[in-house]
Chain A
Amino acid sequence: MTSETPSASPEFTTDVPTAPLVSLILKNLALAILTLGIYRFWGKTHIRRLLWTHTLIQGERLEYTGTGGELFKGFLLVLVTVFIPLFLLNLGARALVEQEEIRAAGAVYSIFAAVALYLPGVAIYRAARYRLSRTRWRGVRFSLEGKGWAYGVRVMLFLLALGLTLGLSYPVQRVNLWRQMWNRVHFGDKPFHFEGGARSLYPRFLLAWVVGMAFLLGLPAFIAITYAPTYEPPGGIPLVDTSPEMALLLIPLLFILLLLPLWIFYKAVEMRTLAGSLSFQGIRFTFDVRSWPLIRLLLGNLLLVLMTLGLGGPFATVRSLQFVCARLRPVGETDFAAIAQGAQPAPASGEGLAEMFDSVDI
C-alpha cells in the first residue's frame, strides 16, 4: 500500500549550475589533451552525471549510472570490430584501383559503402539504448528493447527512399522511426506508447519542400547567368572579376535566409506532433514549441558552439534542456506503485559506434 498522495502531474525542471559546468569543461579539455584523448570518455561521463543529476521530474532528480570505463570499452570494441575492418576495406578498394582492377575495386567499395551507410542508424539506436539503461528515476531504470540491427536497416532503406522520392518521404519516415524506437522504450517494466501519423506534418513540410526545390532548380540558371566570362584586357594579364565570387557567397546566404525559417516552421509542428503522439501509462505529453523561440534556440546554440570552437557544446545542451523542460508538459496521472523494476538485460559497454560516427554530443 503506498503512502503517497495521488501523483500530481510530473513536471520537468532543470537547475544545472554554471560554474561547475565550466570547471568540468575546462578540466576535460586539459586532461584530454594531456592523455591524447583517452580521458574524453571519463570527462563526458562527468558532464552527463552533472546534467542528469540536475534534471528533475516532479521535483525528484534523475541519476546517471554510466561510467567512463564503459564508454572506453565500447570504443575499443568498435575500433577492433568495425573501424579497422572498414579502414582495411577502404585501403583495399584504393589499392585495387591503383592496380586497375576497377570492377573488383567497385565491388569492395560497394561493401564498404553499404556498411558505412548501415552503421549510423545502428549507432543512434545503441547510443540511446546505453544512455537509457544508465538512467534511473526513483531507482527504477529506463531501457530500450532490441539491439538496433533492424533499426539500422530501416534507417538505411529510408535514406534510399528519401533520394527516390526527392525528399517527400521525410515526415513519414521520421514518424516511423520514432514509433520504432519509442514503442520499445520502457520505464521499469512498462513501455511507452507511440500512436500517430504524419498527415498533420505535410502542409508545413510541403511549403519548405516547394521553396527548397524551386531554389535547387533555379540554381543552375542563376549560376549560368552570373558566371559571365571575365574581361581580359589586351595586356594579357586578366583582371579578376569579383562578381562571380560574390554570387557564390550570396547563394548560400539566400538559401539560409529563405529556407531556414520554413524548415524550423516545419520542425516545430513535427516536434509537437511527435510528443503529442507519445504516452506512458495514462500520461500524455504536450510540447508547446513555436517556430520563433526554436529558431532563437538553434541559432543561439550554433553561435555558442562556433565561437567557443566546440567547447561550449555542453552549454548548448543545457539551453536545449531548459527549452524542453519549460515547454514539455505531462498531462494525466499514473500509479507509480504499479510500475515495477524492469528485468531488461542492460548493455555492458556503450556507444562505441556512436563515438566512431561522432554522433554523440552529450
Chain B
Amino acid sequence: MAAPQGYFSDGLSAARHAVRLRMDLRHLVIVGEDGLALTIWSLADLRPVDSVAGGELRLSCASVPDARLTVTDPLATAALLAAAPALQPKTGPGRRGVGVWAVASVAAVGLLILALPILGTAIAGMVPRSWEEAWGDRVYAQASLLLAGPGAPECRGSPGREHLERLLARLAAAAGVDGLRLHVLANDLPNAFALPGRHVVVLGGLLTSAGTVNEVAGVLAHEVAHVAKGHVTRRMVQEHGIKLVWLATIGAGTTGDLAQSLLGLSYSRDAEREADAEAIALLAKAGIRSDGLGRFLERITREQGDMPAFATFLSTHPPTAERVASLATPRTGKDATSPDAWAAIKAVCPKK
C-alpha cells in the first residue's frame, strides 16, 4: 500500500487500520491496506471530533457515531476541509484571547468586589427583624457567657445604669434608631460593641478606664452609628454571603475562606470609618462634645500600643492614628452628663 493517509477505527472494536482516502462529490471512501473499501461515508454526514489546532484532523460520521477517522496527510486534509468546511476544528480562545479575557475577568472581579457590599446591604434589608433579634439574642447569650462568665448578672448599679440608658437614648434619638437594648457586663476590657437585634453591650472596663464621660459617649455613639447604618445586620449576612458568591463563581473551596476573610476585613474597615464619621454627627446632633472618641482611642493606644502599619490589612479596624486624625473636631458641645451622673456611671459595675 502507498503511504497511509490516515487511520480508521470502525467503532465496533478498538482495532486501528491504516487507510487511504478517495473522495467524489458526495462521498468519502475509506480504503484499507488491501485496496478494498472498508466503508463509505456521505460527506454530508461527516462530523468533527475534537482536534488540535495545526494537528491531525479527526472525524466521525453521523450514521456511525462510534467510528473515528484521523487524517494524517495534509493534502487529504485540505481536500476534505474544502469539501466540508464545517469540519474545521473550532479552537477555543488562543493567544490573543489571553489579553481579551484577562481584561474581561479583571473587570468582572472588580464588579463583584464593588457589588458585594451593595448586595449585602440589600439582602440585609430583607432580613425580618424577628430573625435578626432571635439571632442577636443567641449571640448575646454567648457573648455574656464568654465575657462575664456563666450565670453572671449584668451590672445594674443605680442610678448610674439609668444615666447610661438616658445617654444612649439621646444618641439613639439623634440617629433615628429605636428599640436599642443596653447591657453592661462585668468585664475589665475597655470596650463596647453592637450585636444583631439592637443589642448594645458595654463592658465594665470602658466605664472604669475612661477619662471623661465624653469618651464613653463617643464610644456609644460609634456603636449606635453601626446600628443606624445597618452594619451589624449586613455583617451577619456578609459572613456567609461572600463565601457563597465566591464558591458559586470561582469555586475553589479553601480559597473561599481566605477571600471571605480578606474581603470581609476590608469591608469592616470601611464600616469602621463610616461609623466614626457618623458618631461625630450624632454627638453634635445630641449636643455633646465630640472629641471623646478620639481621646479614648489615643489613650488606649498609648497604654496598649498600636499594630504595625503592614498588619493593617489583617485588622478589622483602620489604623488608630488614621482614626484619631479623622476624629479630631473642634470642642463644641456640652459634657454628656453632669459630674454626679458620671460618678454614678463609673460605679455601675460592682468593684472587685
What is A's interface to B at a CB cutoff of 8 Å? 2-4, 15, 19-20, 22-24, 26-27, 29-30, 32-34, 36-37, 40, 46, 49-50, 52-54, 60-61, 63-64, 137-141, 187-188, 237, 305-306, 309-311, 313, 336-341, 358
Tell me whether B93 and A53 are in contact (CB under 8 A).
Answer: no
Identify A341's interface contact among B13, B34, B105, CB under 8 A. Answer: B13
B162 to chain A, nearest CB (A): 28
Tell me whether B18 and A22 are in contact (CB under 8 A).
Answer: no
Tell me whether B50 and A4 are in contact (CB under 8 A).
Answer: no
Assembly CA distance A15 to B55 (angstroms)? 12
- Give chain A residues whose Cβ lies under 8 Å from the Cβ of B32: 3
Interface: B39 (CB within 8 A): no
Tell me whether A20 and B13 are in contact (CB under 8 A).
Answer: no
Most B CB contacts (10 A, CB to CB) among A19, A26, A50 go to A26
Interface: B126 (CB within 8 A): no
Interface: B107 (CB within 8 A): yes
Q: Indicate whether A310 sits within 8 Å of B252 (C-beta atoms), given known contacts A27-B93, A140-B9.
A: yes
What is B's interface to A at a CB cutoff of 8 Å? 7, 9-18, 32-34, 49-52, 58, 60, 66-68, 70, 91-95, 97-98, 101-102, 104-105, 107-109, 111-112, 245, 247-255, 258-259, 303-304
Identify B255's interface contact among A46, A53, A310, CB under 8 A. Answer: A310
- Give chain A residues whose Cβ lies under 8 Å from the Cβ of B112: 33
- Give chain B residues whose Cβ lies under 8 Å from the Cβ of A139: 9-11, 60, 66-68
Q: What are 14 A-B contacts with C-beta separation under 8 Å?
A: A20-B92, A20-B95, A26-B102, A26-B105, A32-B249, A33-B109, A36-B245, A49-B50, A53-B51, A60-B16, A64-B50, A140-B66, A309-B258, A341-B66
B50 to chain A, nearest CB (A): 5
Assembly CA distance A29 to B111 (angstroms)? 12
Assembly CA distance A359 to B214 (angstroms)? 55
Assembly CA distance A29 to B105 (angstroms)? 6
Assembly CA distance A310 to B97 (angstroms)? 20
Identify B13's interface contact among A34, A64, A340, CB under 8 A. Answer: A340
Assembly CA distance A52 to B52 (angstroms)? 11
Tell me whether A20 and B16 are in contact (CB under 8 A).
Answer: no
Tell me whether B14 and A339 are in contact (CB under 8 A).
Answer: yes
Tell me whether A26 and B255 are in contact (CB under 8 A).
Answer: no
Tell me whether B108 and A30 are in contact (CB under 8 A).
Answer: yes
A139 to chain B, nearest CB (A): 4
Q: Indicate whether A33 sits within 8 Å of B92 (C-beta atoms), given known contacts A140-B11, A336-B15.
A: no
Q: Please give me the residue from chain A that is nearest to B248 by CB atom.
A: A37
Tell me whether B16 and A46 are in contact (CB under 8 A).
Answer: no
